[in-house]
Chain A
């Protein structure tokens, strides 16, 4: 898992990934919504810089969608849209996500 230590899109992260949101880059997403609108929706679900995220579950087909713990709430979204959330892996793994 070493290669995951750099910033990656949340949409590419594996099941069990724990990390922190670095920034929102909605322009990375190929979708029907304008980038500014997608950004606002992600923020309204709690994805802002510094938020703690953990991928709890994923679907059967193409491991999509994913259920993400965002601080104290759980949110379901598709990997394609989660590509706009740039995250970095939490440095010390399990222990660090508690705080």
Chain B
């Protein structure tokens, strides 16, 4: 080894569902750097690691694919990096091809294709424990001989389960001649070539793997229930419903704790500092503002916990299967289900996840409706208003009324998404034939706590980062607008009436008066463009500053005395549709590569929001909720 200073670049490639990310987690732990590839929003996961022999290596986790033929943007990244074509990214010196040991057929064809690239390859047979448990007898030496590359077993989820792989990586790097690259003779295979390669793979498989005569009966038994045409849909809806009930009930205790923590901190500042600018800034701006956003962390965590566990379990592909035809009726592709479900957490990862949809029109339709799914940033606003205006009592034996209203808001978002995509298809893409829906349904696996925890941790970091940067800066800006200029000495009205914020709010009032918003709401909507949940924090600031009360009551209590029910419902309706959060608009612009589609999205959502709020407000007034 001559270039001892530079860590060897190793890339992990493999079919979807082969446990590649679990293996990457096992090899690198939590030292991962998660970023985006320049110019695109495909997640780039990289980590430095040290092998048992003390060699530094740089590991890259590439998007899963069945071939280098790259049918989607995700797969293009894998192809371009493996082939060394990706600008600004050096080609990996060693490929670790990860394969599910229980499902080798397609993986072996992919290995044979990868060999043509001319890079050294190690084949890691992942989930080797499950394969052995099922009675699969894999002749590793013979497989290595047939393929002409090293083959090692690996168990990503067990301590020490990667030692064979690490030893083999060490051996490859320290071998005489290092990591030799031969000529790249890969070209896009024709159908005949693919067939030929699959035949070779099947021959190797037959010679090296002896399988018992039973398939994974557990997966089959679960699928018989979960994929039942009617029962499966009932189960899917029940799961979603339980998920949202859990978001509300489980999160209550930690939320109360966080809330009292921030309240205590604010009280401490108020008692420790003299009345003035600094105290107002710290207590009303920083602590009250950031606190009112952090308090929703438990709910966001619970939502992601469900999504991550279901994904790890293997259920998400089944959900796409169950939903394909139903969403197809609305002009959406079955694969759009997972991006849309992710949009319940945040539209940005949801829109990024549309990269797995290979067809441009299907992808565009999904991007345009993803922001209608109720993202977690809306939760703070919904929770605040629901807890202030909807009585907390049980209905229909155990369900909370508040949970039901929340479910209704989610349902409204889903219905709107389906309606809009149906209209898009009717108006814009009427004559286009449909693109195929093809998806592997992996065997069920027990979710691994470590992988779920790591995924959750990455979400927490993202959320806290946002709370600490974007949201914090917006809070400071809002506090400034609410506190400047100071009221005159002979002021007769609350201080905020004299502030810049009041001027903005009053300026917007004529436009938003017909939907029942007061100027305090109008003020809160402006920073809501940076991040939806900031609207709650700004309402907190607006009302806290207005009260000037050291022992201010819960914001919800203030709202329930200041707003009518009609106004509250109207704001809920507005929030279902409003085109908010500048980051989402930015991602849409980047992903569609068009200002036109971004403006289209903004325009149609604004129109829906105004219309829905208007209708809700006037219906509520008509029913006497004024």
A and B interact physically = yes
Task: Please determine whether A40 and B69 come into contact, CB atoms closer than 8 angstroms.
Answer: yes
For B272, list chain A residues within 8 Å (CB). Answer: none
CB distance from A91 to the nearest CB of B (A): 18
Query: In angstroms, how far is the closest chain B Cβ from the Cβ of A96?
Result: 12
Is A67 a contact of B321 with CB atoms below 8 Å?
yes
Given contacts A43-B198, A44-B194, contact A32 B434 (CB under 8 A): yes
A62 to B329, CA, bound (A): 12
Shortest Cβ distance from residue B558 to the other chain A in the assembled complex, whole angstroms: 48
A48 to B197, CA, bound (A): 11
A59 to B441, CA, bound (A): 14
Segment at the A interface, from B150-158, B223-231, B612-620: B223-231
How far is the CB of B321 from the nearest CB of chain A, in Å? 5
Whether A65 lies near B437 (C-beta < 8 A) is yes
* B227 and chain A: residue at smallest CB distance: A57
Interface residues of B in 68-87 (CB under 8 A from A): 69, 71
Are A72 and B105 CB-contacts (below 8 A) given A43-B194, A67-B227?
yes
**In the complex where A31-B435, A31-B436, A78-B436 touch, is A40 in contact with B194 (Cβ < 8 A)?**
yes
Q: Are B106 and A46 in contact (CB under 8 A)?
A: yes
- The answer on a CB contact under 8 Å between B324 and A65 is yes
In the complex, how many angstroms separate the beta carbon of A55 from the nearest chain B beta carbon?
Answer: 12
Instruction: Kindly state whether residue B359 has any CB partner on chain A within 8 Å.
Output: yes
- The majority secondary structure among interface residues of chain A is mixed
Name the distance in Å between A83's Cβ and chain B's nearest Cβ. Answer: 11
Q: Contact mask B171-198 → A, CB, 8 Å, 1/0?
A: 0000000000000000001110011001
Interface centre among A30, A40, A56, A71 (most CB of B within 10 A): A40
A65 near B326 (CB under 8 angstroms)?
Answer: no
Residues in A whose Cβ lies below 8 Å from that of B407: none
| Chain A: minimal CB distance from B388 (Å) | 40
How does the 8 Å CB contact mask read for B296-324 relative to A, with 1 for contact and 0 for none? Answer: 00000000000000000000010011101
Contacts of B215 in A (CB 8 A): 69, 72
> A31-B436, A38-B436, A78-B324 are contacts. A67–B441 as well, Cβ < 8 Å?
yes
Q: Count how many chain A residues have C-beta atoms less than 8 Å from C-beta atoms of the other chain.
A: 40
A15 to chain B: closest residue by CB: B229
Task: Decide: A45 near B105, CB < 8 A? Known: A32-B359, A40-B191, A67-B223.
Answer: no
Tell me, in angstroms, the Cα distance from A82 to B485 when the chains sit together: 70
How far apart sit A19 and B441, CA to CA, in the bound complex (Å)? 20
Which residue of chain A lies nearest to B198 when distances are taken between CB atoms in the complex?
A48
Cβ < 8 Å to A, chain B residues 505-538: none
Q: With the chains together, A73 CA to B439 CA distance in Å?
A: 11
| A40-B69, A69-B215 given; A61·B191 CB < 8 A | no
Cβ of B33 under 8 Å from chain A:
no
Q: Does B560 belong to the interface (CB within 8 Å)?
A: no
A39 to B220, CA, bound (A): 28
Q: Which of chain A's residues have a CB closer than 8 A to the CB of B219?
A: 74
Kindly supply a per-residue 1/0 record for chain A positions 69-97, scoring 1 wherever the CB is within 8 Å of any chain B CB and 0 otherwise. Answer: 10111111110110000000000000000
How many interface contacts (CB-CB < 8 Å) are there between A and B?
Answer: 128
Whether A45 touches B66, Cβ cut-off 8 Å, given contacts A61-B325, A75-B441, A98-B213, is yes
Residue of B nearest to A42 (CB): B438
8 A Cβ contacts from A15-54 to B: 24, 30-33, 36, 38-41, 43-46, 48-49
Q: Which of A56, A72, A75, A98 contacts B438 (CB 8 A)?
A: A75
B256: CB under 8 A from chain A? no
The verdict on A81 contacting B322 (CB below 8 Å), with A40-B69, A43-B194, A67-B227 known, is no
Whether A74 and B441, one on each chain, are in contact in the complex, defined by CB atoms closer than 8 angstroms, is yes
Q: Name the B residues within 8 Å of A38 (CB-CB).
A: 436
**Chain B neighbourhood of A67, CB < 8 A:** 223, 227, 321, 441
Q: Answer whether residue B490 sits at the interface, using C-beta atoms and an 8 A cutoff.
A: no
User: What mask results when residues 372 to 416 of chain B are scored 1 for a CB within 8 Å of chain A, else 0?
Assistant: 000000000000000000000000000000000000000000000
Q: Is A64 a contact of B438 with CB atoms below 8 Å?
A: no
Q: Are B66 and A44 in contact (CB under 8 A)?
A: yes
Contact at B223–A56, with CB atoms within 8 Å?
yes
B-side contacts of A41, CB under 8 Å: 71, 436, 438
CB-based contact B359/A45 at 8 Å: no
Asked if B211 is an interface residue, CB under 8 A from chain A, the answer is: yes
Identity of the chain B residue whose Cβ is nearest the Cβ of A64 in the assembled complex = B325
Interface code B55-69, partner A: CB below 8 Å = 1, 0 otherwise?
Answer: 000000000001101
Q: Are A58 and B229 in contact (CB under 8 A)?
A: yes
Residue of B nearest to A98 (CB): B213
- Note all chain B residues with C-beta closer than 8 A to A43: 191, 194-195, 198
Please state if B191 and A36 are interface contacts (CB–CB under 8 Å). Answer: yes
Cβ contacts B452-496/A at 8 Å (1 or 0 each) = 000000000000000000000000000000000000000000000
Asked if A60 lies at the interface with its beta carbon under 8 angstroms from chain B, I say: yes
Minimal beta-carbon separation of A65 from chain B (angstroms): 5
Question: Is B433 interfacial (CB-CB < 8 Å)?
Answer: yes
| Residue B51 at the chain A interface, CB threshold 8 Å | no
- B440 partner, pick from A59, A75, A80, beta carbons under 8 A: A75
Q: Is B103 an interface residue (CB 8 A)?
A: yes
**Given A65-B334, A72-B105, list of 14 further CB < 8 A pairs?**
A31-B435, A40-B189, A43-B195, A43-B198, A48-B199, A56-B223, A57-B229, A57-B321, A72-B211, A73-B105, A74-B442, A76-B334, A77-B436, A77-B439
23 A-B interface contacts by CB (under 8 A): A31-B435, A32-B434, A36-B190, A38-B436, A40-B190, A41-B71, A45-B66, A45-B106, A48-B199, A49-B195, A56-B220, A57-B224, A57-B321, A59-B229, A59-B324, A60-B233, A65-B321, A71-B105, A72-B105, A72-B211, A76-B324, A76-B439, A81-B437
Q: Which residues of A contact B (CB under 8 A)?
A: 24, 30-33, 36, 38-41, 43-46, 48-49, 56-65, 67, 69, 71-78, 80-81, 98-99
